[in-house]
Amino acid sequence: MLRYNKLKGVRGFMRKVALMTAGGDCPGLNSVIKAVVMSAQKKNIEIIGIMDGYKGFVEKNYVKLDKKSVYNIETEGGTIIGSSNKECPFHYPVDDKKVHYEDMVEPSIQALRKIGVDGMIIIGGDGTLDSARVIEEHGMQTIGVPKTIDNDMIASNPTIGFQTAVENAVEAIRKVKTTAYSHRRVMVVEMMGRTSGYLTLYGGFAAGADIILLPELEYDLDAVCEKVKEIMDGGKRYVIVAASEAAKEKGKDDKGDFGSWMVERRKAKGMSQLELAEKVGTQQSTISRIEKGQMMPGVWLGKIEETLK
């Protein structure tokens, strides 16, 4: 791993690198950590883990990572060095009441410099990597590793965590189908993704959802209800609606809870809703935390190690 020192204008080998995970957790984080540590060890580079994201970056909470500390972690979910999605290093609270904030980027970089850190590898989503950009601009050599189940970052297709989130969503939806069939239900499955519909689209399509609601396309609730009735009238015992957490109804200013709207509108005027209420029940299921479960071990190890060569 070579670096170019912007401050001195010379090239040299990195001997110590800080590694951090920040933002929400997702599948594959431990695989990335292990890949970085194992690859670095082959080049005699020491890896220092920063605990709990930017909180540990500012508060100087470090831990040494070696081959022993990452043994078999790719089979575990989450991240062994912790994470946080609340702290911002250039707007950090400096008192217990969180009244006064300061830019802590420069002193945090200097603290790492004092222990010999030459660069950083920061694993995170758009917010995390935006802060990583600020760190880079302050002179610390930084590599950003894009991770998010939302798959909403440019120049990375797919992002780490997305593939497994889709697989988990598909499995969850398929399990919901058994109850839906048994009780002749309309099952609304709410999925994560923020303002990006990738996870809902891929997961819903792969699981065979009858209706998919995305944040990119506003939906007409009356049209959805009509479609549900059409499907049920066609002889199917159940309907699966995959709805993004940010799906928005036409005419509404904000995103809403589609499952709750469905229940409320079952008694609304119009034959379609009344018949729907008489013929089927509506039940909502939120699978957001299931989607973030761990991936199959080793999926990202080979890709990441190859990239770091």
Decide: 193 and 149 in contact? Cβ < 8 Å: yes
Q: Write the pLDDT tens digit of every residue in 259-300.
A: 554 545 444 444 343 344 344 445 555 555 455 554 443 333
Tell me which amino acid residue 288 is: S
Higher-confidence residue of 92 and 269: namely: 92
**Which of the residue ranges 230-234, 254-258, 297-301 has the most confident prediction, judged by mean pLDDT?**
230-234
The predicted-structure confidence for 103-127, as pLDDT tens digits, reads as follows 899 999 999 999 999 999 999 998 8
pLDDT band, residue 13 (cuts 50/70/90): confident
Q: For residue 296, what pLDDT is reported?
A: 40
Query: What average pLDDT does the chain have?
Result: 81
If we measure between CA atoms, which residue out of 171, 249, 245 comes closest to residue 207? 171
At residue 80, what is the residue type? I
Give 132 or 3, the one with higher predicted confidence: 132
Using 50, 70 and 90 to split pLDDT, how confident is the model at 167? very high
pLDDT digits (tens, 9 = 90+) for 236-248: 999 999 999 888 8
- Tell me the pLDDT tens digit for each residue of 138-161: 999 999 999 999 998 887 778 999
How far is CA 115 from each of CA 48, 64, 119, 121, 276, rounded to the nearest angstrom? Answer: 10, 12, 12, 16, 66
pLDDT, position 155: 77
Which residue, 34, 26, 24, is CA-closest to 161? 26
Mean pLDDT of 215-233: 89
Q: In 3-state terms, what secondary structure has residue 115? A: coil
pLDDT in tens, 60-91: 999 999 999 999 999 888 899 999 888 888 88
Catalytic residues, by residue number, are: 150
The listed range with the strongest mean pLDDT (45-54, 180-189, 225-234) is 45-54
As beta bridge partners, residue 284 has 188
